[in-house]
Amino acid sequence: MLKFAANLDFMFTREASSLLDRIRLAGAAGFKGIEIPCPYEITPSDLASVKESSGVEQVLINSCPGDLSAGDFGIAIFPDRCQEFREKLELSVTYLKVCVLFFGSQLRIRF
């Protein structure tokens, strides 16, 4: 049986501008999995709460790309931004621990 996840960068954007509302809509539409490539506009605790209440599991997350409003779409390549990259990667791990339920307590990330 096929399993589909709602990519919330593309789905439910007409119905709701808030990412939290799009998560709720995905759950209400029957999706069990959601993809949020960049959930960094909301707090990890808000994300965890709305996912739990909506009955959805996050199955995709990208590392934080930097400052999207400044045109960043990845900063690892820039030698002068190594410290910023490390900080963004640590932020990404914080979200990953909240988002990815199917790893549970076995999630071990070291860098």
The pLDDT-based confidence of 103 (bands split at 50, 70, 90) is very low
Inside any domain, residue 26: yes
Inside any domain, residue 55: yes
Inside any domain, residue 14: no
Q: Which residues of 12-44 are buried (b: 16+ CB within 10 A; e: fewer)?
A: beeeeeebbebbbbbbeeebebbbbeebbebeb
What percent of the chain clears pLDDT 90, i.e. is strictly above it? 52
Inside any domain, residue 91: yes
Whole-number pLDDT of residue 69: 84
- Supply the mean pLDDT for the chain: 86
Inside any domain, residue 80: yes
Inside any domain, residue 33: yes
The pLDDT-based confidence of 108 (bands split at 50, 70, 90) is low
Whole-number pLDDT of residue 82: 92
Cα distance between residue 62 and residue 31, in whole Å: 20
**Domain region containing 88:** 19-38+45-99
Tens digit of pLDDT for each residue in 44-80? 999 999 999 999 988 888 888 888 888 888 898 899 9
Number of domains in the chain: 1
Whole-number pLDDT of residue 100: 64
Whole-number pLDDT of residue 49: 92
